[in-house]
Amino acid sequence: MKISSTYEEGHSLGIGGHEERVHVSNSDNAARPAGTFAGEINRTLMEAMDADRNVVLGGQLIRYGFAGLTTSLYEKYPERFITYSVSEELMNSSAMGLALAGKRVVMFHVRLDFLLSGMNALFNHIPIWWKKGYKLPITFICQEGRGIGSGQGAQHSKDLTFWFQRCEGWNTCVPQTPQEAADMLKSAIFGDKPTLYVLHRRLFNASEGTRIMIPQEIRFCGASKRHNEEFYR
């Protein structure tokens, strides 16, 4: 998240008992225009929460807008926001528990890479319980990209999508147009199968389609100019 010279300071008590104390850039989390990827995702989330009171949102910093994806949702449905301390295993495990209890869970991860800190739930539990016949309407919305060269590091640059494509029990969504972003998200929220929903950070403000190449190996998205040329074709 970009830190600017203009701050809003927020406090909330998240899961894990830790006080969340953050500085948030207003401009980074402002509402995106309709027709952009972020704008369509935000609209779809609002419509889903309006339609079904069991739709809940979880993650770190989500009440502050999450780069425009959750803007204005907390003000309308504060009781359906679950804030977490920095613990990906807790986030992923509790998402399964919430789903088993009848909730439709949308869990936000700031970086797709950080799923690696919570892989036990993602591969040893969630897909297995789904295979046993349990309904698990969980959507993990993950940002990827903008790595080396933008000051965010190689640990913030990997694309893990193909891992989930090769694991039974998972749907994967990589929208390439704003309309796909809305349609795929709606299907994921109201489906009963765990879904990895991946959005590249460069697309948040985009209003036109972009072809996204899904690497078949672990690569560092945005790690070099050459890779960007390969990734966007």
User: pTM here?
Assistant: 0.78
Percent of the chain at pLDDT > 90 equals 50
Domain containing 13 — which CATH number?
3.40.50.970
At 122, the pLDDT band (50, 70, 90 cuts) reads: very high
Give me the pLDDT at residue 35, please: 85
User: 36-70 b/e with 16+ CB inside 10 Å = b?
Assistant: bbbbbbbbbbbebbeeeebbbbbbbbbbbbbbbbb
For residue 91, the enclosing domain spans: 7-231
Evaluate if residue 26 carries a pLDDT over 90: no
Whether residue 220 is contained in a domain is answered as yes
The one-character DSSP state at 84 is: B
Q: Classify residue 2: in a domain, yes or no.
A: no
Which of 5-14, 39-48, 108-117, 195-204 shows the lowest per-residue confidence on average (mean pLDDT)? Answer: 5-14
Those residues with Cβ within 8 angstroms of residue 196's Cβ, 6 or more apart along the chain or in another chain: 140, 142, 161, 164, 170, 171, 172, 173
Give the least confident one: 69-78, 141-150, 160-169. Answer: 141-150
Selection from 104, 91, 122 nearest residue 188 by Cα? 104
**Inside any domain, residue 151:** yes
92 lies in some domain: yes
Spatial contact of 204 and 32, defined as CB atoms under 8 Å apart: yes
Q: Is the pLDDT of residue 227 over 80?
A: no
pLDDT at 216: 65
Furthest CA-CA distance within the chain: 51
DSSP helix/strand/coil, 204: coil
Report how far Cα 144 is from the mean position of its chain's Cα atoms.
9
Q: Is the pLDDT of residue 135 over 50?
A: yes
Give residue 103's identity as a one-letter amino acid code: K
In terms of Cβ atoms closer than 10 Å to its own Cβ (0-12, 13-18, 19+), residue 171 is middle
For residue 20, tell me if it sits in a domain: yes
Kindly state the helix (H) or strand (E) to which residue 144 belongs, with its residue range.
strand 138-144
pLDDT at residue 7 in the model:
23
Structural domain count, the chain: 1
For residue 67, what is the DSSP state?
T
Residue 1 belongs to some domain of the structure: no
Question: 36 phi and psi, to 5 degrees?
Answer: -90, 165
User: How far, in Å, CA of 194 to CA of 188, rounded?
Assistant: 8
Instruction: Specify if 205 maps to a domain.
Output: yes
pLDDT (0 to 100) of residue 28: 54
Name the least confident of 10-24, 85-99, 129-143.
10-24
pLDDT at residue 4 greater than cutoff 60: no
pLDDT band, residue 110 (cuts 50/70/90): confident
Give the number of residues written for the chain: 233
Retrieve residue 21's tokens. 């104390």
Q: What is the pLDDT of residue 25?
A: 44
Inform me whether the pLDDT recorded for 95 exceeds 80: yes
- DSSP secondary structure string, 1-42? ----SSEEEEEEE-BTSPEEEEEEETGGGSPPPTTSHHHHHH
